[in-house]
Amino acid sequence: MKDLKELRTEIDIVDKELVELLKKRYDITEQIGEYKAKTGAALFCPEREEEKIVALSEKLGDYKNAEYIENTFRAVMDYAKYQQSNNTYGRKDIFLIGMPGCGKTTVGKILAAKIQRELIDMDKLFTYVYQITPADCIEKNGEEEFRHLETALLLNIKQRKDFYRSLENSPKKNSTCSRIISCGGGIVVKDENRETLKRDAIVIYIKRDISQLAKNGRPLSQKTGIETLYEQRAEKYETWSDFTVVNDKDLDSCAEEIVKILKNQEI
């Protein structure tokens, strides 16, 4: 039986070979991303990924460590997607702002799938971190206290890429890739949030006709009145954002418009 030192030496040799192979692989995936960007081809192809996994499984057969190799291979493919996403759409976080019920979270989900980014829904994250929903917090503690907690949450998201990743039951996250953050409708209420949002990020205003805004589960929309809220916030939505996307068609079209905006940004 080989001793520990000898086995570790063998591992070091294999690791050295792996590094060179990975460097070569990521260089190639970068070229693939550039080609797709130039030709307009779809950046991600789930069918191709599944074909590769099936082929890998067949090659591994009944090898005892097949599961670990397959998981490693999936991770490599995931990071290749993040690499292509960063190179095509940039590395800045993407903040979605707009009135309550304008479609920020739904558009964010579609966008996240299109460009392979993590989506953070601030209202859901607020509920998890503080163990109370935004609506209940406003009702029980008042809007001022809610805004204070919301600002603290925004700072944590902005300053710590691993903040959301570290939460129990949070979906898989990757700190090397920028994120899509769907903000609460009142994120613009506190002026101090503007600098936090805009620092090394792209802020996109999802604009929707007032008559089309959803009101259910939104206490301020019901209590203050949607028209009054809009009058109070509209100017800030416009001036804080880098781009405005009008959500007046289907949600996929809205997300696709954002994709086009991101492709034209300086990476």
Enclosing domain of residue 157: 93-263
User: In terms of domains, do 160 and 255 share one?
Assistant: yes
DSSP 170-208: PPP--TTS-EEEE--TTTTSSTHHHHHHHTTEEEEEEE-
User: What integer pLDDT is reported at residue 171 of this predicted model?
Assistant: 46
Q: What is the pLDDT of residue 46?
A: 85
| pLDDT at residue 161, rounded to an integer | 67
pLDDT, tens digit, 9 for 90 and up, residues 31-64: 998 888 788 787 788 888 899 999 999 999 999 9
The pLDDT tens digits for 233-261 are 999 999 999 999 999 888 999 999 999 99
Q: State yes or no: pLDDT of 94 exceeds 60.
A: yes
For the ranges 4-18, 21-35, 206-220, the lowest mean pLDDT is seen at 206-220
Residues 174/75, Cβ–Cβ less than 8 Å: no
Q: What is the pLDDT of residues 204-216, one digit of tens each?
A: 999 999 888 866 6
pLDDT digits (tens, 9 = 90+) for 157-183: 988 766 665 554 444 455 557 899 999
Instruction: Name the token pair of 257.
Output: 């418009």
Picking from 64, 89, 114, the residue at the C-terminal end of a domain is 89
pLDDT at 120 over 70: yes
The DSSP symbol for 93 reads E
Helix H segments across 1-141? 4-39, 46-60, 66-89, 104-115, 122-130, 134-141
pLDDT of residue 169: 45
Where residue 18 sits, what CATH number does that domain have?
1.20.59.10
Same domain, 119 and 236: yes
Do 29 and 120 have their domain in common? no
On whether both 179 and 225 belong to a single domain, the answer is: yes
Average pLDDT rounded to a whole number, residues 134-159: 94
CATH number of the domain at 101, please: 3.40.50.300
Question: Which of 136-145, 167-176, 219-228 has maximum average pLDDT?
Answer: 136-145
SS3 243: strand
C-alpha span between 133 and 146 (Å, rounded) = 10
d(CA 195, CA 85): 25
